[in-house]
C-alpha cells in the first residue's frame, strides 16, 4: 500500500488493519493492481502491477512523467517460507504475460539501488530479477535505477 498513500509521513505508524482497509476500498472501487501466488490454498506471494500514472507518489518521488501508456511493477511480498524458491520470478513472468495479452506495451520497475540494500527494503524487487526477465536500465533516480521492458 506504500505507493497508494500520498506521502511517507506516518507510514511507519500505519497498522495492518489500515492498509487492509485501504486495499479493500481500492478493490471496491475497481482498482485491481496485483497478482497472487498460491501454494495449494495458501497465498504465498504478491506482486503489485498497474498503470504508473495512478501512483502519484511514485511519479512525484521518482521524478517520472505521468505516462498513461507505461505500467509499473512496484511491490513484491513473498512469505518467508517460500523465499528463494522462484515465487517472485513466477509472479513477474505471469504478470508480464498477462500484461502483454492485455495490450500493454511497456512496463517499468524501480528496484532499490546501492550495494547494501537490507532485505526489508527489497519490497520493490531486486534488480537481478528484472534484468533476468529482459528489463534494461533506462534511467536513475535518487532511490535507484529505473528499469524498463517493452512487451
Q: Which domains does the chain have, with CATH numbers?
A: 1-31 (no CATH), 33-150 (3.40.630.30)
More confident residue, 139 or 1: 139
Where residue 20 falls among pLDDT bands split at 50, 70, 90?
Answer: confident
Give percent of the chain with pLDDT exceeding 90: 46
Q: What is the pTM of this model?
A: 0.85
What are the tens digits of pLDDT across the range 65-106?
878 999 999 988 899 899 889 999 999 999 999 999 999 999
The answer for residues whose C-beta is within 8 angstroms of residue 88's C-beta and 6 or more apart is: 45, 47, 76, 78, 125, 129
Angle at 6 between CA 19 and CA 58, to 5 degrees: 100
Amino acid at each position: 500500500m506504500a505507493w497508494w498513500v500520498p506521502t511517507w509521513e506516518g507510514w511507519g505508524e500505519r497498522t495492518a488493519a489500515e492498509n487492509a482497509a485501504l486495499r479493500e476500498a481500492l478493490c471496491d472501487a475497481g482498482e485491481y493492481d496485483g497478482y497472487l501466488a498460491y501454494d495449494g490454498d495458501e497465498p504465498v506471494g504478491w506482486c503489485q502491477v498497474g498503470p504508473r500514472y495512478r501512483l502519484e507518489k511514485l511519479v512525484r518521488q521518482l521524478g517520472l512523467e505521468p505516462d498513461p501508456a507505461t505500467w509499473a511493477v512496484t511491490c513484491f511480498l513473498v512469505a518467508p517460507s517460500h523465499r528463494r524458491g522462484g515465487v517472485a520470478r513466477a509472479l513477474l513472468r505471469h504478470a508480464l504475460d498477462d500484461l502483454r495479452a492485455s495490450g500493454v506495451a511497456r512496463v517499468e520497475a524501480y528496484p532499490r539501488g546501492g550495494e547494501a540494500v537490507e532485505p526489508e527494503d527489497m519490497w520493490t524487487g531486486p534488480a537481478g530479477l528484472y534484468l533476468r526477465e529482459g528489463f534494461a536500465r533506462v534511467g536513475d533516480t535518487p532511490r535507484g535505477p529505473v528499469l524498463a521492458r517493452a512487451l
